[in-house]
Amino acid sequence: MTRRLAAALLLLAALGLHIGVTLPLRRERDESRRAFAEAREERERLRFRLSRVEGRAAAGRAPAGDAAAARALRLSLLRAADRLPLEAVQIAVEPGRRGAVAAHGRLSAEGGQADLLRAAGRLADPSSGALLERVSFLPLPGQGLRLEAEVLSLRAAADVPEAGS
């Protein structure tokens, strides 16, 4: 009888320990996991937003010097057309004379709509280093389109010449 009573008491103690300690700790663990997952998702959202903001802030910022700004913009225009089946590709870049514009550029190309949209999308991406000024798609006789894109890059605020100089 005493063994049965001792076994029953041990069983009740184990059940009380399970209900009193283990179950609350499991709930706390699950809540902590949920909070950690939410914090991780928020961190990833903030990282994405930060990269977009940094990309927009850097978009169109040219390196110092007129020649370097023109080379950087030319490279952006070349990257936009890179590995796309485009024809009659023409790229023109000239340094900006005064003010905040470091360089002006122009890309024209002929091809299919999807390829031209891809090229324009590459130029519009903040990481391209170019700011779109004007984009137009002109129909060609027969099939195809012609892309005309005018872009520019901006001087860094410290590199903008004063009005009197």
Question: Does residue 164 fall inside a structural domain?
Answer: no
Last residue of a domain, one of 9, 27, 58: 58
Q: What does the mean pLDDT of the chain come to?
A: 82
Same domain, 49 and 114: no
Using alpha carbons only, give the angle 34, 37, 39 rounded to the nearest 5 degrees: 110
CA distance 103 to 96: 4
Range of the domain at 13: 1-58
Last residue of a domain, one of 9, 25, 58: 58
Using alpha carbons only, give the angle 125, 80, 159 rounded to the nearest 5 degrees: 65
Same domain, 27 and 87: no
- pLDDT tens for the chain, 165 residues: list them: 788 888 888 888 888 888 888 888 889 999 999 999 999 999 888 888 877 766 655 554 555 677 778 888 888 888 888 889 999 999 999 887 777 777 889 999 999 999 999 999 988 887 777 888 899 999 988 888 999 999 988 776 545 455 444
Same domain, 115 and 155: yes
CA distance 71 to 129: 11
Instruction: Give the number of domains in the chain.
Output: 2
Same domain, 98 and 153: yes
* pLDDT at residue 165, as a whole number: 47
- Model pLDDT for residues 62-104, shown as the tens digit of each residue: 556 777 788 888 888 888 888 899 999 999 998 877 777 778 8
